[in-house]
Structure 1
Amino acid sequence: MIEAVKWTGENWKEIDEFITTYHETYPKDGVIMIDTLEGTHIANVGDYIIKGVQGEFYPCKPDIFEQSYETTE
C-alpha cells in the first residue's frame, strides 16, 4: 500500500502537510517543485504525489497512477 495525494490546484494546504521533504508550491501556476531522490521534479495539476518506501516524495502522472494503483478512501 502506498500513500498518495492528487494535486488539484486547489488543495495546496493538504499538499504542504503531506509532503514532509523540501518542496515549493506555486498554486497560482499550478506547479509543485519536489526534491526527489533523483533531483527536483515538477508536479502539475492532476498529478499524484506519492510517498515512497524510503519516505521520499515524487510526482506521478494520473494515467500511470490509475493503471498502476487502486485507490481507497
Structure 2
Amino acid sequence: MARYRKKPVEIEAVQYGLAEYADNPWEIRGGDVPQWLQDAARDGIVVPEFRSEDYWYLKIQTLEGDMYAAPDDWIIRGVKGELYPCKPDIFRATYEAVSGDD
C-alpha cells in the first residue's frame, strides 16, 4: 500500500476559552477575536450556543455540516478560508507554531 505525508501548510487558529453562562461567549485564549472570526459571526457561519453544561459553545458551519467548538478547542481557518473546530490533543499532534508567531 502507498503511504502519504500531509503537506506542510500554514493555517490560522485561535483557542476558544471557557465562557460561563453570564460571560461573553467570545472568549478567546491569549487575545482578541480575529477579524476572520468576527466576519464569520457576522455572516452567521459561527454562532454562540448555550449548552446544558453551563458553558457557551460555538456552532460552526463546516463543509461537513454543523460542528461545535467546546471550551479549549481550537478554531481553525483552513487554506481556503473554511472554518472548523479541532480538539486540543489533535491540534498539538498536527500543528506547530510558525517561527516568529505566538
TM-score by length of 2: 0.61
Unaligned runs of 5+ in 2: 1-9, 20-24
2:17 matched to which residue of 1?
8
Task: Give 1:59 shift.
Answer: 0.0
2:67 matched to which residue of 1?
41
Higher Cα Rg: structure 1 or 2? 2
Computed over aligned residues only, the root mean square deviation of the Cα atoms, in angstroms, reads 2.3
TM-score by length of 1: 0.81
Task: Give 1:3 shift.
Answer: 0.3
| Structure ranking higher in strand proportion | 1
> Which residues in structure 2 correspond to 1:1-73 (within 5 Å)?
1-10=10-19, 12=26, 14-15=32-33, 17-19=35-37, 20-21=39-40, 22-26=45-49, 29-71=55-97, 72-73=101-102
| Structure ranking higher in helix proportion | 1
- Report the residue type matching 1:41 in the other structure: M
Task: Give 1:50 shift.
Answer: 0.2
